Chains A and B, each alone.
Chain A
Amino acid sequence: DIQMTQSPSTLSASVGDRVTITCRASQSISSWLAWYQQKPGKAPKLLIYKASSLESGVPSRFSGSGSGTEFTLTISSLQPDDFATYYCQQYNSYEFTFGPGTKVDIK
């Protein structure tokens, strides 16, 4: 199985900050990576698929990059609505696996 790791596990930031979250895969997954945002008590929301494609309706301040085993999610200017937990997910091969999550909270 492909293992996913994320860093940091928690990130404290202020509104307007540029935020970067890193996701690493235990083996190459090409660009088969998605990013999700989840708020407490809510279902996850797809932000990015195929490593860098922005899902329809997602603000352009979110961007993704990377390929192979290292990926990043960047929020160019953090907004109040962005305080949440972010998960990466590989779908290169079964079993699809998620990273452990990165919680973005208020500094």
Chain B
Amino acid sequence: TQLLEQSPQFLSIQEGENLTVYCNSSSVFSSLQWYRQEPGEGPVLLVTVVTGGEVKKLKRLTFQFGDARKDSSLHITAAQPGDTGLYLCAGVFNDMRFGAGTRLTVKP
């Protein structure tokens, strides 16, 4: 059983479309992080959110942390093929636990 549930598991879209992926838990996080992993490489940190209700923007990526600090979303505007990868959320409890990820494919 995953401590963090990510949805959807797979997502395939055309270049230029918008998308949102979700990360949910029944537990409260002290902080939450989003990573992107490309084939053959380790996950790379995109953002850390700490405060309930916090919204952070990273170019075309918008990250939101739920008010109760149990959930988070990642919204990508005008997706590009370079956004293709596995998006992982990770919640800090005593250590860091990862969700199973959303595998995104952006077709040119």
Q: Do A and B come from one complex?
A: no
Interface residues of B (CB under 8 A from A): none
